[in-house]
Amino acid sequence: MELDVINDSKKNTEAGSYFVSNYPPFSVWSPEHVPAVRSMLAEPAPADPPQLGLYMHIPFCRKRCKFCYFRVYTDKNARDIDDYMEALATEIGMYAHQPRFAGRQFDFVYFGGGTPSYLSADQLERLIGRINEHWTWDSAKEVTFECEPGTLKESKLQAIKRIGVTRVSLGIEHLDDDVLEINGRAHRSAEVFKAYDWARNAGFKQINVDLIAGMVGETEDKWRDTVERTLALAPDSLTIYQMELPHNTVIVRESRESGEAAPVADWATKRRWVDYAFQRFADAGYVVSSAYTMVKPSPDAGFVYRDALWHGADMVGTGVASFSHVGGIHFQNLDSWETYLASIERGELPLSRALPATKKQLLIRELILQLKLGKLDTNYFQQAFETDVRSEFSDAFAAIEREGYGKVEGEEVRLTRDGLLRVDGLLPQFFEPEFRNIRYT
């Protein structure tokens, strides 16, 4: 990951990950730390444990998007899917019986992908029935379900509502059919509008829509048209990502084979397009919730999943290649279909690699993630970690102020709009020296 984005010397979108989602970097997690995970799970939780979440990876898709870097499968039949769902429910049952989780209930649940809505209503309800034999999420404040519009039917959305989902997230990404096709998306814009109406009729508390700025084939006019048509939908919340090109994507492979640069907008253009979208939604009464999100003010506005994770919550990640954070230890599941299923078959948690974090690393993790909100309450870190982050990270904050990307005022740090648009490029300044200038994933 490049560390010179703060000076804007990195202009073009090149292969690599820029999106910071955890700390220390994934590239330093290793199998040698897996025993520490097992030991931690065998111990009771502290007397006042943090919030607890469940993430379920549903790794099936109709087709692989050309910008996708997740562990997904497009070639599995109904029997394969049933086998995986059985393994997923079994894994959740294994965690339910760990001493670390005795008596604890989920505060948030997230169905991620892949494409959770790829499952049929029957498959989904069977999965939930199996999970409920071990653990329920009756007390969860938020249950999120990611959807690809073209996989939805009105009856399926009603089934999704019945299992307790409170928030659906529609992966629209764009509303120009040519852009969708060029980037390998399975759905088209007509399916978006039908799915959105069905979701509204089903009565979910919150409907979120995702967009991506700077996809292959993007133009100024196409982006503005997508923003206006999305605004007309009046979603409860909006998430916009700037297109990145992780190494294991089809776009990067095709670029290497052709010897030509990937036809993706540069960073300045992507920031300008995101800024335009945020301004249009702000004009309509939405408020900025993070570097990537806006919400329409309402009693149900917000992101429980995000805010809990960014403030030190425990999260159990289940399914192939999923990531977890529990008891101050980061860990990931086995990342292949065969090894994941085989581990469950043996009655073993499918752990692959891990990293116990130090207290300072946990502080840095929360600090950089909360900076994505655009502001930091330094009192929080004084109380949670007994550290004055203004002093501990004075050089990093001074650099941000010097470049005009933020301001330290009393107990609060605030990023400017320009700083928030490039926040992932600012965060590595807070990394420990040994984790700078190394591959992030």
Number of domain units in the chain = 2
Please give the Cα distance from 303 to 291 (Å, whole number): 13
Give the residue from 61, 46, 60 showing the smallest Cα distance to 100.
46
Specify if 352 maps to a domain. no
Same domain, 297 and 436: no
Residue 4 is predicted with a pLDDT of: 42
- Which of 211, 220, 272 has the alpha carbon at shortest distance from 243? 211
Residues 275, 420 share a domain:
no
**What's residue 414's pLDDT?**
97
Closest-CA residue to 169 (of 136, 208, 205, 196): 208
pLDDT at 132: 93
Whichever domain contains 214, its CATH number is 3.80.30.20
First-last CA distance in the chain: 9
Residue type, 97: H
Residue 433 within a domain: yes
What is the structure's pLDDT at 247? 79
pLDDT mean by block of 10 residues, the chain; 441 residues: 43 79 95 98 96 98 88 94 97 97 96 95 94 93 97 96 96 97 95 97 96 96 98 97 87 83 89 97 97 93 94 98 98 98 98 98 98 96 97 97 95 96 96 90 80
Domain end residue (candidates: 308, 325, 346): 308
Residue 7's pLDDT is: 43
Domain presence at residue 341: no
> Are residues 116 and 203 located together in one domain of the fold?
yes
Say if residue 138 is in the same domain as residue 270. Answer: yes
Q: Are residues 135 and 8 in the same domain?
A: no
Alpha helices by DSSP H, listed for 284-358, are 304-309, 337-345
Is 313 a domain residue? Answer: no
Both 245 and 288 in a single domain? yes
Residues 120 and 202 grouped into a single domain: yes
Structure tokens at 156: 């399926």
CA 342 to each of CA 28, 32, 91, 171: distance values in angstroms, whole numbers, following the listed order: 25, 20, 12, 32
**Are 252 and 21 contacting, i.e. CB atoms less than 8 angstroms apart?**
no
Residues 299 and 394 in one domain: no
Does 46 reside within a domain? yes
* Residues 96 and 113 both lie in one domain: yes
Q: Within 10 A of 42 (CB to CB), how many other CB atoms are there?
A: 10
Do residue 83 and residue 218 come from a single domain? yes
Q: What is the pLDDT of residue 10?
A: 58
Do 218 and 291 lie in a common domain?
Answer: yes
The whole-model pTM stands at 0.94
Give the DSSP letter of residue 373: T
Single-letter code of the amino acid located at 315: M
Phi-psi region of 404 (alpha: psi -120 to 50; beta: other; left: phi over 0): left
User: Domain range holding 400?
Assistant: 1-24+358-441
Is the same domain home to 302 and 390?
no
